[in-house]
Each structure stands twice: as structure tokens, then as C-alpha cells.
Amino acid sequence: MINFLPRLITGIVYISLVAGSILYSSKSFTLIFSLLMFIALYESNVLWKKIRLKIPENNSPIPQAYVVLSMTTLILIPFYFSDSYNPYPILLIFILIWISDTMSYFFGSYFGNTKMRIKVSPNKTWEGFIGGFLSCLIFSIFSFSYIQEIYPFWKTISLGILIPVFGLIGDIYQSKLKRMAGVKDSGSILPGHGGVFDRLDSAMGVSYISFLITII
């Protein structure tokens, strides 16, 4: 319980900050997301330096490029619609990410028995992934009535299907980086969650596919 409370409080503050910045205005969204990007960029650079100490021949700053490109892609999504800022597509994407992550954690914690056998993330279970996947898909179906003027049904469903998959890929990629660097978390700015880079792993993973679904 002691370890759970900081995680819960930090999670609520983080979600409120992100959702609030999205809904308040285009300026607040751009400011907060740019700030998150620069913090994650700093944390990824620290990881890269630790990786280079362990693997000197690895001199390509791929984590930093990944952070900048994926976060920039996310920032572009709400500005794609007409010439104005539309907060609801990016808000839906983040709600689906949070639902997928939260329900994966819940189902994995209480019902997880079948390991996914992912070397860099050994605690992942199929029960957790399937629980998060179905929860995300169900929410995307119910959210269609609120988002139909922006996303047709097939796009909303596609987000519900693909966000859990690409979110998992983003999680695995970051877990691999941390395993290579020999650390548990990318930072400590968010008690119970690690760093901003840790918290945005799924969002970065889904950024490209979400942008592609938005523009086609």
C-alpha cells in the first residue's frame, strides 16, 4: 500500500496534466507536450550514455531520435484537422492508451499466469495483454458516437485494435533500452512510475500508427 499510493497520486497528477493541457488550448497542449518531450529526451540521452559505456561500439543516438520523432508526430495530430486545433483525436488516443495500460496491469496482476516469454520484459502475460486489448477495443466502440464527426467507425475501431499492440511494442523497446543500460527506470521524476520516458513508452509506440490512421 505504501508503494501504491505514490504511484496512484503521481498517475492522477500526470493524467490530469496531460488531459488538461489537451483540452485547455492549443498553446497549453504544445507547451506541455514539448516540455514532456525535452524531459524524455534528456532521460533517453542518459540511457544512451550508459549503454555506450557497456557497449562502446553502439554510437548511434537512436533513442534520442525516437523520442523527438514520435513526440513530434503526436503533437501534429490535433492540428491535422482543417486549419484549427482539435483536441478530441489526441485525447481519444491517450484515453485508449491509459485504458490499455491500466487494464493490462489489472488483468496481468490478478489473472496473469501465461508468460509472453519476452526476455526484456519477463513479467508480461497473455492474460494481461488480452484484458487490455479487449478493454481498449470495447471503449473504442462506445466512444464512436462522441467522435464520429472526426473519425469514421473503421478508424475508431482500428485505434482500439492497434493501440494495445503498438503500445506493447513501445513498452518492449524501452524495456530493451533499460536492460542494455542496466537500469530499472529511465528517471525518477514521477514517483512510482520512473521517468517521463517510462510513462510515455506506449504513447511513443502508438504515435506513428495513430498519425497514419488520422491522415488516411
Expressed as residue numbers, the domain containing 127 is: 4-215
Q: What is the pLDDT of residue 44?
A: 93
**For the packed helices 201-215 and 153-181, what is the interaxial angle rounded to 10 degrees?**
150
Report whether 112 contacts 130 (CB < 8 A). no
Q: What is the pLDDT of residue 4?
A: 65
Q: Give the number of domains in the chain.
A: 1
Q: What is the pLDDT of residue 1?
A: 45
Neighbours of 92 (CB within 10 A): 23
Dihedral sign for Cα 164, 198, 180, 131, please. negative
Report whether 81 contacts 150 (CB < 8 A). yes
Quickly list H helices, 77-152: 88-111, 126-147
Q: What is the pLDDT of residue 192?
A: 67
User: Distance (Å, rounded) from C-alpha 126 to C-alpha 164?
Assistant: 12
Burial class (CB in 10 A: 0-12, 13-18, 19+), 85: middle
Amino acid at 96: L
Neighbours of 3 (CB within 10 A): 9
Q: One digit per residue, pLDDT tens: the chain, 216 residues?
A: 446 677 778 888 899 999 999 999 999 999 999 999 999 999 999 999 998 888 877 666 688 999 999 999 999 999 997 668 999 999 999 999 999 999 999 999 999 899 998 888 888 999 999 999 999 999 999 998 888 888 899 999 999 999 999 999 999 999 999 988 889 888 878 766 788 999 999 999 999 999 999 998
Q: What is the pLDDT of residue 61?
A: 65
